[in-house]
């Protein structure tokens, strides 16, 4: 005897399967870096020793930098402001610059902003000197790999010159 097919159950199962696949896809894309080369290699690295890396990451989390910034090219679920990514920032700014920036009462004097007031880089001048030093040292340690710079420059050149 043929079992009677309950179409509602079939439809429900299909919907559940789709929803499940969608959730898996979303969760996977959240944890995935957006830039990688063919070997799944991130173009970013840190020169920090493990102690500095821990201290810097802890401050990054507790001071809620991740509400605005991206790091390790993974957008945090907390991020609500399109502030510049801090990946490789140490290849752009040195430790002295970063220390001055984090210590400034008005960071926009050093780096002008086009953001709305509430999205601008806040002043961290009220942190202890030790904390500002850790931040400066940690962010100075975040570097960009040469192959990524080379690729970025040649892609930019192609865009500008068509060659
Ligand atoms: C309210 C959002 C917000 C928070 C929180 C925040 N930033 Fe920023 N940050 C920005 C914006 C926006 C800029 C770009 C300059 C501007 O618009 O003021 C910036 C710029 C920077 C820069 C300079 C980037 C460059 O291109 O030179 C560094 C470094 C930086 N932030 C580090 C941090 C660190 C470290 C923390 C946490 C201690 C932090 N930021 C917290 C919004 C934020």
pLDDT digit string, tens, across residues 55-67: 999 999 999 999 9
Buried b / exposed e across 42-75, counting CB within 10 Å, b at 16+?
A: ebbebebeeebeebbbebbeeeebbebbbbebbb
Of all protein residues, the one whose alpha carbon is nearest to atom 13 of ligand 1 is 121
**Could you read off the pLDDT of 19-55 as tens digits, one per residue?**
988 887 777 666 566 667 767 778 999 999 999 999 9
Best CA proximity match to 121, nearest among 135, 137, 132, 110: 110
- Range 66-73 average pLDDT: 90
Of all protein residues, the one whose alpha carbon is nearest to atom 19 of ligand 1 is 121
Is pLDDT of 146 > 70? yes
Report how many domains make up the chain. Answer: 1
Pocket of ligand 1 (CB under 6 A): 63-65, 67-69, 81, 83-84, 86, 89, 92-93, 98, 107-108, 111, 113, 115, 119-122, 124, 135, 139
Of the ranges 2-6, 117-121, 130-134, 150-154, which one carries the lowest mean pLDDT score? 2-6
Pairing label, strands 142-144, 44-46: antiparallel
Q: Which domain holds residue 49?
A: 44-161
Higher-confidence residue of 40 and 145: namely 145
Cβ–Cβ under 8 Å, residues 86 and 71? yes
* Residue 28 included in any domain: no
Query: How would residue 2 be classed by pLDDT, with cut points 50, 70 and 90?
Result: low
* Residue 140 included in any domain: yes
Best CA proximity match to 55, nearest among 133, 144, 143: 133
* Residue 92 included in any domain: yes
Give the burial class of 85: count Cβ atoms within 10 A of its Cβ; 0-12 exposed, 13-18 middle, 19 or more buried: middle
Question: What's the rounded Cα separation, in Å, for the pair 132 and 4?
Answer: 70
pTM: 0.80
Of the ranges 77-81, 111-115, 132-136, which one carries the lowest mean pLDDT score? 77-81
Q: Residue 80 sits in a domain of what CATH number?
A: 1.10.760.10
Helices (H) and strands (E) in the chain, counts: 6, 2
* Residue 2 included in any domain: no
Cβ–Cβ under 8 Å, residues 147 and 37? yes
In the chain, the percentage of residues whose pLDDT exceeds 90 is: 59
Query: How would residue 107 be classed by pLDDT, with cut points 50, 70 and 90?
Result: very high
* Residue 58 included in any domain: yes
Query: How would residue 142 be classed by pLDDT, with cut points 50, 70 and 90?
Result: very high
Give residue 59's pLDDT. Answer: 98
* Residue 18 included in any domain: no
* Residue 133 included in any domain: yes
Best CA proximity match to 75, nearest among 31, 118, 134, 114: 31
Q: How far is the CA of 155 from the centre of ligand 1 (A)?
A: 27
* Residue 37 included in any domain: no
């Amino acid at each position: 005897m043929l079992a009677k097919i309950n179409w509602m159950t079939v439809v429900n199962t299909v919907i559940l399967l789709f929803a499940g696949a969608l959730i898996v896809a979303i969760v996977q894309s959240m944890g995935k870096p957006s830039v990688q080369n063919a070997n799944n290699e991130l173009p970013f690295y840190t020169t920090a020793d493990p102690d500095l890396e821990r201290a810097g990451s802890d401050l990054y989390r507790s001071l809620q930098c991740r509400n605005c910034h991206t790091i390790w090219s993974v957008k945090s679920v907390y991020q609500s402001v399109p502030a510049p990514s801090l990946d490789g920032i140490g290849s752009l700014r040195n430790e002295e610059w970063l220390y001055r920036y984090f210590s400034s009462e008005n960071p926009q004097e050093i780096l002008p902003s086009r953001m709305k007031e509430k999205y601008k880089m806040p002043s961290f001048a009220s942190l202890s000197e030790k904390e500002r030093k850790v931040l400066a040292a940690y962010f100075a340690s975040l570097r960009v790999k040469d192959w990524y710079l080379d690729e970025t420059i040649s892609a930019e050149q192609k865009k500008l010159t068509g060659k």
